[in-house]
């Protein structure tokens, strides 16, 4: 809260700061609102491997044991702060923003379908993640000078960071300044960013032991719905995120956009 008050006081000096500096402060403020709160895991300190995912519960309900394991292995966290959740709900009500998000997804549709087919992923999972991240993107973060300033840690339509390129072997474990600059340029390229998102989902599927021979389909079984929720959680690291992604995957407009000319070949996967 002190950090929020500081930023608000800073933004109240338009006569002293240039519009450029004010934009950078706003980007940093919105970035701070999206930071998750750490999830306590003291009750499961001895946990080293997860039990079987529990499909009998709601797919977005994770046990304390499951959450502790995912945090220990992947570094994910807990829910958004109440202020960030309020901000997210407010943004979701803006119809012009939704129309713009769907337009951007239409432009990305060819690469979504191509990478989903290549890696045997559910294209609606990729689309749902992209919809959420584009819908809630921070002002100005797509500008090269903002990306290279280091004020934002995730970039592009899928909001990916430098660490994902390291995970996928596209950067050395200790990248140089030149490597990081080139990686940021790659993340800013929309098609490359979507390709990296698909690679991330395929990587996580394999690491968690989910089948890599076919896409996960939530309507096919509770276990697959749970697996999709887990992948969504691992992408964003916030507990309220999987429910949003599963909801977006059933959005008629988004579903129609992705399958409008591919239904006979791919069928509708939810």
Characterize 116-153 residue by residue with b for buried, 16 or more Cβ atoms within 10 angstroms of its Cβ, and e for exposed: beebebbbbbbbbbbbbbbbbbbebbeeeebbeeebbe
Under a CB-based contact definition with an 8 Å cutoff, are residues 127 and 197 in contact? no
- Structural domain boundaries in the chain: 1-33, 61-139+197-266
Give the orientation angle of helix 64-74 with respect to helix 222-236, to 10 degrees: 50
The tens digit of pLDDT for each residue in 32-90 reads 444 433 333 322 333 333 444 555 568 888 888 888 888 888 877 555 555 555 545 55
Give the position of tokens 């403020």: 29
Cβ atoms within 10 Å of 254's Cβ, excluding its own: 20
pTM: 0.74
SS3 160: strand
Closest by alpha carbon to 248, among 71, 74, 98, 36? Answer: 98
The tens digit of pLDDT for each residue in 143-154 reads 888 888 888 889
The greatest distance separating any two alpha carbons of the chain, rounded to the nearest whole angstrom, comes to 60
Q: How far is CA 136 from CA 52, 89, 132, 139, in A?
A: 33, 10, 6, 9
Low-confidence residues of the chain: pLDDT under 70:
1-57, 77-95, 261-270
Can you give the pLDDT at residue 14? 40
Output the CA torsion sign for 151, 84, 197, 261: negative
Residue 190: CA atoms inside 13 Å, Cβ hemisphere, count? 15
């Amino acid at each position: 809260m002190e950090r929020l008050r500081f930023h608000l006081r800073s933004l109240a000096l338009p006569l002293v700061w240039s519009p450029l500096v004010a934009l950078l402060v706003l980007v940093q403020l919105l970035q701070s609102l999206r930071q998750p709160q750490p999830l306590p895991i003291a009750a499961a300190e001895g946990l080293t491997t997860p039990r079987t995912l529990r499909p009998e519960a709601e797919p977005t309900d994770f046990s304390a044991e499951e959450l502790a394991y995912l945090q220990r292995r992947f570094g994910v966290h807990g829910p958004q702060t109440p202020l960030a959740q309020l901000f997210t709900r407010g943004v979701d009500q803006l119809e012009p923003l939704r129309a713009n998000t769907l337009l951007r997804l239409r432009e990305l549709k060819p690469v979504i379908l191509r990478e989903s087919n290549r890696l045997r992923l559910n294209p609606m999972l990729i689309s749902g993640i992209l919809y959420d991240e584009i819908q809630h993107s921070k002002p100005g973060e797509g500008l090269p000078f903002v990306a290279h300033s280091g004020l934002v840690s995730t970039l592009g339509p899928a909001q990916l960071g430098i660490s994902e390129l390291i995970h996928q072997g596209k950067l050395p474990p200790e990248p140089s300044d030149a490597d990081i600059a080139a990686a940021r340029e790659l993340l800013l390229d929309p098609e490359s960013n979507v390709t990296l998102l698909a690679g991330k989902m395929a990587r996580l599927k394999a690491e968690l032991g989910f089948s890599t021979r076919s896409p996960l389909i939530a309507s096919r079984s509770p276990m697959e719905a749970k697996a999709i929720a887990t992948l969504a959680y691992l992408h964003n690291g916030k507990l309220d995120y999987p429910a949003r992604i599963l909801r977006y995957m059933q959005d008629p407009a988004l579903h129609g956009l992705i399958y409008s000319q591919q239904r006979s070949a791919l069928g509708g996967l939810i």
